[in-house]
């Protein structure tokens, strides 16, 4: 188990409020471990790169040679549908060789530690390792022992940076900017790495974030937060009033050791997003959910499938964000491509 003190930057819940700036820059990081350590300009750089990759999905041939000869290992110790599939498709569309390892097929079932697994994988010289693990700090731990670039695909309740990036891309496409948007995040904030990464990203890019959750599902540190652009709403109705964006979270039962809620039915009554509640939000509100959804609990089907919902756009954008991440962490311009535009001009042969 990795403890909080193993993480760089100490505490989990320290929210930055750095202002958005429009600096043009090259991406110089080796790893993507969290949103917390990124500068606003770096976030914008990834989003801009992802915007370029989005159009690849509309082509008849969806493959480019950009990462030919590179090796990407997907190391998933927790269940995943969207994240794992989109990292695999993203790597394949960039012509990288991909290998998928899940907890059940790895030697952790025989008692090998995560770090020994990582050292053994490193001995095969991968270029990038994408890791999902139930322990906060797992990706950081790998970054300390591997030369490969490490991408955090979710570490416990800590961070899920590519989810926050794809959420931001979806918001930016529909609202033009994140600055000054009112964003309500509703649900199990305490156990949600999606909430944590989103709070960092949204506040860094100038959005105003309102959190709504049962008291038992709010991190105790948040009660004392007095950031200018982060507030705790007294109830879901207040959080939703005039909101431009609503991000709905699943109850993370797999991370709950105590009884945090009397029942799911009660949660649905007091915190479930339905059409009636959504009517309080701005007329052009957009609704996001990272998936998997529990219909009828945190979100009603008429909202999930309704005109305000962008849940499937998020999935499409997830692919573009993961392509951008793999591309930028690989140095950005492999195989003679001068830039993303150049890379995308050349179909794989």
Gap between the terminal Cα atoms of the chain: 45
CB of 68 to ligand ASP, least distance (A): 30
CB of 293 to ligand ASP, least distance (A): 9
Distances in Å between the Cα of 158 and the Cα atoms of 132, 195, 198, 317, 336 are 11, 9, 11, 22, 37
What are the structure tokens assigned to 57, written together? 């999905």
Cβ-count burial 223-240 (b if 16+ within 10 Å, e if not): eebeeebbbbbeebeebb
Among 70, 133, 158, 250, binds ligand ASP (CB under 6 A): 250
Query: What distance in Å separates the CA atoms of residue 336 and residue 54, rounded to the nearest whole number?
Result: 21
Query: What distance in Å separates the CA atoms of residue 71 and residue 270, rounded to the nearest whole number?
Result: 47
CB of 135 to ligand ASP, least distance (A): 14
Among 137, 219, 290, 318, binds ligand ASP (CB under 6 A): 290
Among 291, 296, 335, 348, binds ligand ASP (CB under 6 A): 291
**Residue 201 engages ligand ASP in binding (rule: CB under 6 A):** no
**Residue 181 engages ligand ASP in binding (rule: CB under 6 A):** no
CB of 35 to ligand ASP, least distance (A): 13
CB of 194 to ligand ASP, least distance (A): 5
Strand partners, 130: 74, 151
Query: What distance in Å separates the CA atoms of residue 170 and residue 13, rounded to the nearest whole number?
Result: 24
CB of 301 to ligand ASP, least distance (A): 17
Binders of ligand ASP in range 81-140 (CB under 6 A): none
What are the structure tokens assigned to 174, written together? 């529909």
Among 70, 182, 193, 204, binds ligand ASP (CB under 6 A): 193
Task: Give the nearer residue to ligand ASP in terms of CB position, either 152 or 252.
Answer: 252
**Residue 160 engages ligand ASP in binding (rule: CB under 6 A):** yes
Among 194, 211, 286, 319, binds ligand ASP (CB under 6 A): 194
Query: What distance in Å separates the CA atoms of residue 246 and residue 123, rounded to the nearest whole number?
Result: 44
CB of 85 to ligand ASP, least distance (A): 12
- Number of shown-chain residues binding ligand ASP (CB under 6 A): 8
DSSP 37-66: T--HHHHHHHHHHHHHHHGGGGSSS---ST
Query: What distance in Å separates the CA atoms of residue 208 and residue 205, rounded to the nearest whole number?
Result: 9
Cβ-proximal residue to ligand ASP, closest one: 250
Catalog residues that contact ligand ASP under the rule CB under 6 A.
154, 160, 193-194, 250, 252, 290-291
């Amino acid at each position: 188990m990795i403890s909080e003190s193993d993480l760089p930057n100490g505490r989990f819940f320290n929210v930055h409020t750095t202002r958005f700036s429009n600096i043009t820059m090259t991406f110089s990081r080796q790893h993507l471990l969290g949103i917390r350590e990124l500068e606003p300009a770096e976030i914008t750089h990834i989003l801009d790169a992802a915007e370029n990759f989005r159009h690849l999905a509309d082509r008849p041939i969806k493959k480019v040679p950009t990462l030919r000869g590179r090796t990407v290992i997907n190391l998933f110790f927790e269940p995943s549908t969207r994240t794992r599939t989109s990292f695999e498709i993203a790597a394949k569309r960039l012509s990288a060789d991909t290998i998928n390892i899940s907890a059940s097929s790895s030697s952790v079932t025989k008692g090998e530690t995560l770090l020994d697994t990582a050292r053994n994988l490193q001995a095969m010289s991968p270029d990038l390792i994408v890791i999902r693990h139930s322990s906060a700090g797992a990706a950081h731990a790998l970054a300390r022992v591997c030369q490969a670039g490490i991408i955090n695909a979710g570490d416990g309740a800590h961070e899920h940076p590519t989810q926050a990036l794809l959420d931001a891309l979806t918001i930016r496409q529909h609202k033009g900017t994140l600055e000054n948007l009112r964003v309500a995040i509703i649900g199990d904030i305490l156990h949600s790495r999606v909430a944590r990464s989103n709070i960092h990203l949204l506040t860094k890019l100038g959005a105003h974030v309102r959190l709504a959750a049962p008291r038992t599902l709010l991190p105790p540190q948040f009660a004392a937060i007095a950031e200018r652009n982060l507030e705790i709403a007294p109830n879901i109705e207040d959080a939703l009033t005039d909101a431009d964006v609503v991000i709905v979270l699943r109850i993370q039962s797999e991370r709950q050791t105590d009884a945090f809620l009397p029942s799911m039915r009660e949660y649905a009554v007091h915190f479930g997003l339905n059409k009636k509640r959504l009517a309080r939000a701005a007329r052009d509100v957009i609704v996001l959910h990272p998936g998997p959804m529990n219909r009828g609990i945190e979100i009603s089907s008429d909202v999930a499938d309704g005109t305000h919902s962008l849940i499937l756009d998020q999935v499409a954008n997830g692919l573009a964000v993961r392509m951008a991440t793999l591309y930028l962490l690989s140095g950005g311009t492999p195989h003679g491509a001068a830039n993303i535009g150049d890379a995308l001009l050349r179909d794989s042969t």
